[in-house]
Structure 1
Amino acid sequence: MINHPHHQLAAVTRYCAERGISLDVREDGWLLVLGNATKRHLIFGYDLGLNSAVAHRIACDKAATATLLTASGVPAVPHAFFLGPAMRGVSEPEWASILELLEAYPNGLVVKPNEGTSGRAVTRVHTAAELKDALTLIFDTGASVAIAPLLEIADEVRVILLDGVPLIVYRKQRPVVTGNGIHSMRELALRAVPVQQQSQLLRRLAAEFDASTLHAIIPQGEQRLLSWRHNLEFGAQPVLLRDGELRETCTALAQEAARVINIRYASVDVVLADGQWRVLEINSGVKMEALGEHAPELVETASFAALDAIFAPRVLGSAPGAPDISQ
């Protein structure tokens, strides 16, 4: 399962074996206790324990991250924060302030849990009714909400950083089908994936497209995106960026964002919208399970670098300019 830290656990297990570090695996791999003669260290979920509590909390809070980055002059996608009514001790959300966002961004909004991950419960809305439905769904879980403008995102790149050094840089390439004038989007999409993945694909398509769109014949040569999301968990493919201007631009922006919130180990998502690159979010828990399905060796190498920063910091920083494993 992608939600289970399978690739991370494999990397940590091999690291400990090679470095002579004890490893106690608890809670099916979600809680790890590492130790040697001089150090005991805990890993919880995808948090390797390199970041301060403050940096971790800011990165987990989409609205706080956007506010801080913008105030520091770093281009970022704005996120408005709204606390659930139960947390405020009232019966209704702040509908007046929330609905004003629809007027401010007439192209639509994206509603998401303020501290959610992997694109879960993220919804596009264009009307007041859709907005209220999306908010109710999240508020019913007790979560707070972040609301961002719906942008036409042309590209999205993830930069995984350790102490400002890019370990992995990759583009999130959304799945697409090309029409042949004979088959529908649904038929073309099903033909592009193995049989064991088809039921999951159908659920994703049904959640994003109406029946008329799915069953319409796509003209010869025309392309259709199968998801508006860039998440690997929703079918996007990682395309490594090894050099070039795109990589340099995204890395520089990610480094500045990480510096602003003072975070050591993080993945930074940057997006291209309206001709400008800006930060979408920062993740303190560096989740690489979906990437590991495509490039497990990169996940292991990045994990080794992060663990060396814990158990052998002088080794990692002994040479000027730590190596970039995506080269």
Structure 2
Amino acid sequence: MKNKPYEKNLHQILNRDKYQENLGYLQSLKFLKNKDELLQLYNPRFPIAVAQKYLIAELEKRKISYSLDPYGYCLRIFSPNRETPHLMHGINFGLNATSVVKIFKDKILTNEILRQDGFTLPREYILEPKGNIFETPVNNYEGLLQFTEKVGFPLIVKPNKGERGNGVMLLSNLKELEQFYQEYSNGLFDEKIAVIQEKVKGNEYRVIYLDGEILLTYMKQPFTLVGDGKTTLEKLLYLRNLKEEALEETKGILAKQGYLLTDIPAKDTQIQPYQFINDLSEQDQEVPFTEQDQEFLKKIAKSFGARFFGLDIISEGAIHEGSIIELNAKPDVLWARKISPEFNTKFWSKIIDATTGTKDKVIKKNDSSFDAGISEEEFERKVHSLIHLQNKTEILNASHGIKHGVFILLDEIEKSGFPYTIDEYGFVMTIQLPSGKNRIIYNADYGFDSSSLRRIFEDKIYTSKILRNGKFPVPNDMIIIKDRSSYSTTSNNTLACLDFAKKNGYPLIFKPNDGSLGVGVQKIFNQEQLLKALEDYNASNKGLYLLQQYIPGKDYRVIYLDGEILAAYERIPPKVVGNGISSIGQLIDKDFQDLEINKITTYLQQQNLSLDSVLPQDFEFNLLPTANIATGGFVREVQATETDRLFLERVAKYFGARYFGVDILSNGELADGVILEINKSPITKGISTASEKFRTNYPKKIWDTIKKDEGF
């Protein structure tokens, strides 16, 4: 499928009008780098350019200040009604709390909340490898067959966290079910967790909702190709902007209809290359909605505390009488604008109203990491043991008193007397507010900031670039990529990495661009290790990596919320002290438990050492390159100053953020250090262990802030 002559500059050749329209817009932004590259790479760049164009036009019409970063992703809106800017990341408008977005991405948890609140959904069966947290008493092929006998064929198979139809399959008979299960058992499915649903009869609708109002309802129609007697099926699919991976999925479906990709359909022949209705059909039709439909959507919004979402629903009658298929935190508004010119006229104005007007409360965020302060593997094992427990006392006893995720807030919520529920897996807390709305807590995501901000903080290179633009001190860095990217200002290959090393010197830090908990971080001591790291990376299927200047200094974590520093502490890597007799392995056995020996062994090898090496008397040796609590580090509480607080406040205002942890490397004051990265949900186990004051005050501060947000 590669190197097709019409694929090289696909949008220049096949979509010249759209290309020229967007190119003209981008070229008008004098400060924007890589303008042509942004448009020539792949489809997602186009929606970003289109959305920015409409949003900026609306902002300029209202004379509202804004800035767009040099890479065309991050739009910062400076409203007179807000103390801090509102950030949008691409087509993520930042209207929902990250806790809501996390739930919407997880079909199992979304469906569980919907069922608890009385909504109708298709019957489903959850399939996950044995021993994982969603395992049911009968979660195997026999259980799947029992489910199939109950609901019948056809069945819909979906990845639990898939989107845009990727990985969705239709199983029409027992043979296809057996083939799917075999592929699933061999690890060939897109994701570990598969959701198998009955196929519901009826028309499929998409409803787009914002702040109490349905903005658009349309009936989704099958994606249909129409032959012209001259063009192959393959090229017809490219003309419709189909991604190559999606093209691969259509081969078998076309083959069942007797077609090959190289076939040229006769003029006016209609072919459906998909098993499902999706968002690509020009035949999609806008349909009216009723007041009952709008109340139905409001009820869904209250269940999650959501402001903006798309609802996919199948119904043989009215929309509100249907079966909910999915909720989307980022519905395809750019496709919707083609269906309804009226929607396109009002939508962008509504978005600016929502982000800058008097309706706009400070929006919520904080994405969940494993704030339990324990490893992901241990957390999953503990949660797995809690599946059938019914109350929080049993849960806390089973987890040996470790308060993690949603359980941190239990005491404060019970003092307040608000009803709440915790899902059977221990991930999601739903707090019932006096207003009738629910407040969703997802693990340790308290919902203080917007989902667009979460996307930025998850992207280390992007966060670094924004900080650098704001004149904050950050290490030198460069992105490591296998293919061309709009981040690229040089050819990011081995020579570029070696040039970076020459300019910045060794050691260097090599780490995933979107990683957390210290996973995948390497300290590179010389050229040989750098070349080996690059070789391993290029041979892997890993995403973007970051090569970063090493900054010597003490490693600090500062946790900030709404103008206040909640904690400041030094993070100290796990280390041993030599006695001239014991090996490093023996010292580890004496002083530590649960350290990841494989990582330590690799780090030792980088320095020509092993677990059998004996350290000199009183020689201190760090066992790992990072001081992450998740990898065995420990903490020492420090006293933050007013200068430090003002420094963090400046960071918060620059991003429009409320709650975050910032990692700082410094040999002096915190405010004089270099910002290493910003964390969307900082781990609190280390400081909770070290500080009784933090253990007492932190849950109270979090809960008081939630109450203030909700107006009670």
TM-score, normalized by length of structure 2? 0.39
Alpha-carbon distance change, 178 to 250 in structure 1, aligned in 2, over 3 angstroms: farther
Q: Tell me: CA distance 1:112–1:212, structure 2 relative to 1, closer, same or farther (3 Å).
A: closer
Offset at residue 182 of structure 1 (A): 1.6
CA contact (8 A) 2:664 2:673 kept: yes
Structure 2 contact 405–442 (Cα < 8 Å) conserved: no
User: Using a 3 Å threshold, how does the CA distance of structure 1 residues 248 and 171 change in structure 2: closer, same or farther?
Assistant: farther
User: Structure 1 or 2: larger strand share?
Assistant: 1
Q: CA deviation at 1:64?
A: 1.4
Checking the alignment, whether the CA contact within 8 Å between 2:406 and 2:428 is kept in structure 1 is: no
Q: CA deviation at 1:162?
A: 0.5
Amino acid at match of 1:208: Y
Counterpart CA distance in 1 for 2:559 and 2:440 is 21
- Out of 523, 533, 541, the residue aligned to residue 140 of structure 1 is 541
Change in Cα spacing, 1:287 to 1:218, as seen in structure 2 (3 Å) is: closer
Match of 1:234 in 2: 631
Aligned: 1:266 with 2:660: yes
CA distance in 2, matches of 1:263, 1:300: 24
* Structure with greater contact order relative to length (CA < 8 Å, sep ≥ 6): 1
Change (3 A) 1:28 1:272: same
Name the CA distance, whole Å, in 2 between partners of 1:293 and 1:27.
27
Q: Equivalents in 1 of 2:479, 2:444: separation in Å?
A: 25
Distance of aligned partners of 1:131 and 1:306 in 2 relative to their CA distance in 1, 3 Å threshold: same
CA positional deviation for 1:224: 1.7
DSSP 3-state at the match of 2:581: coil
SS of residue matched to 2:654: helix
Cα pair distance change 1:176/1:82, threshold 3 Å: closer
Contact 2:508-2:549 at 8 Å conserved across structures: yes
The equivalent of 2:574 in structure 1 is: 175
AA aligned to 2:550 is L
Verify the 8 A CA contact 2:584 2:611 in the aligned structure 1. yes
Q: Distance in 1 between matches of 2:709 and 2:679?
A: 22
Distance in 2 between residues matched to 1:80 and 1:296, nearest whole Å: 40
3-state DSSP class of the match of 1:147? strand
How far 1:26 moved relative to its partner? 3.0
Partner of 1:129: 531
| Partner SS for 1:85 | coil
Q: Which amino acid aligns with 1:19?
A: S
User: In the aligned structure 2, how far is the partner of 1:281 from the partner of 1:27?
Assistant: 34
Q: Does residue 602 of structure 2 align to residue 207 of structure 1?
A: yes
Deviation readout 1:174-227 (Å, 9 max, x if unpaired)? 23322222222222222112xxx25x3533421311274432322222222222
Residue of 689, 699, 707 corresponding to 1:303: 699
Alpha-carbon offset, residue 261 of structure 1: 1.4
Q: Give the C-alpha shift of residue 232 in structure 1.
A: 0.8
1:75 aligned residue (470, 473, 491): 473
The answer to which of 251-260 and 28-37 deviates more is 251-260
Query: What fraction of aligned residue pairs are identical, expressed as a percent?
Result: 20
Q: Shift of residue 60 of structure 1?
A: 1.6
Deviation of 1:159 (Å)? 0.6
Call closer, same or farther: CA 1:9–1:234 in 2, change over 3 Å. Answer: same
The structural deviation recorded for 1:310 is 1.9
Aligned 1:275-286 pairs, distance under 5 A: 277-286=673-682
Give the Å deviation of 1:87.
8.2
274 and 27 in structure 1: CA distance in 2 versus 1, 3 angstrom threshold: same
CA contact (8 A) 1:266 1:283 kept: yes
Secondary structure of the residue aligned to 1:107 is coil
- 1:2 equivalent in alignment to 2:2: no
Whole-Å separation in 1 of the counterparts to 2:643 and 2:616: 36
Distance (whole Å) between structure 1 residues aligned to residue 534 and residue 424 of structure 2: 37
* 2:550 paired residue among 128, 150, 155: 150
Cα deviation for residue 129 of structure 1 reads 1.9
Question: In structure 1, how many angstroms separate the alpha carbons of the residues matched to 2:554 and 2:407?
Answer: 31
Worse-superposed segment, 204-213 or 63-72: 204-213
SS of structure 2 residue aligned to 1:28: coil
Find the residue that maps to 2:661 and give its secondary structure.
strand
**Counterpart residue identity of residue 216, structure 1:** S
Q: Report Cα offsets for 1:45-82 as digits up to 9, x if no partner.
A: 43211012232222221111111111111112233234
Conserved 8 A contact 1:176-1:224: yes
- Paired residue for 1:14, among 403, 407, 411? 411
For structure 1, list consecutive stretches of 5 or more residues without a partner in the other structure: 317-327
* 60-69 vs 179-188, which moves further: 179-188
Instruction: Confirm or deny: 8 A CA contact 1:11 1:299 kept in the other structure.
Output: no
Cα drift, residue 308 of structure 1 = 1.9
**Could you list the runs of 5+ residues in structure 2 that have no partner in the other structure?**
1-373, 380-401
Shift of 1:281: 0.7
Instruction: Give CA-to-partner distance per residue, 1:240-293, whole Å, 9 cap, x none.
Output: 1135xxx55654443332222121011111112699611111111233245445
Secondary structure, aligned partner of 1:80: strand
CA distance in 1, matches of 2:586, 2:628: 22
Aligned residue-pair number? 302
Residue by residue over 1:115-167, the C-alpha shift from the partner in whole angstroms, topping out at 9 and shown as x without a partner, is: 11111011223334223135337x613x222221133x320111100012001
Q: Are 1:13 and 1:23, in contact at CA under 8 Å, matched by a contact in 2?
A: no
**Which of 431, 435, 438 is residue 34 of structure 1 equivalent to?**
431
Indicate the larger mover: 295-304 or 121-130: 295-304
Whole-angstrom CA distance in 2 between matches of 1:86 and 1:25: 44
Q: In 2, are the aligned partners of 1:11 and 1:300 still within 8 Å (CA)?
A: no
RMSD after superposition: 3.1
Task: Report the AA paired with residue 604 of structure 2.
Answer: F
Question: Which residue of structure 2 aligns with residue 320 of structure 1?
Answer: none
Q: Distance in 2 between matches of 1:26 and 1:134?
A: 40
3-state SS in 2 of match to 1:209: helix
Aligned-partner SS, 2:601? helix
What pairs with 1:162-201 in structure 2 (closer than 5 Å)? 162-193=561-592, 197=593, 200-201=595-596
Kept in 2: contact 1:177–1:226 (CA 8 A): yes
| Contact preservation (8 Å) 1:8, 1:289 | no
With over 3 angstroms needed to count, the CA separation of the structure-2 counterparts of 1:201 and 1:294, relative to structure 1, is farther
TM-score by length of 1: 0.79
Match in the other structure for 1:216: 613
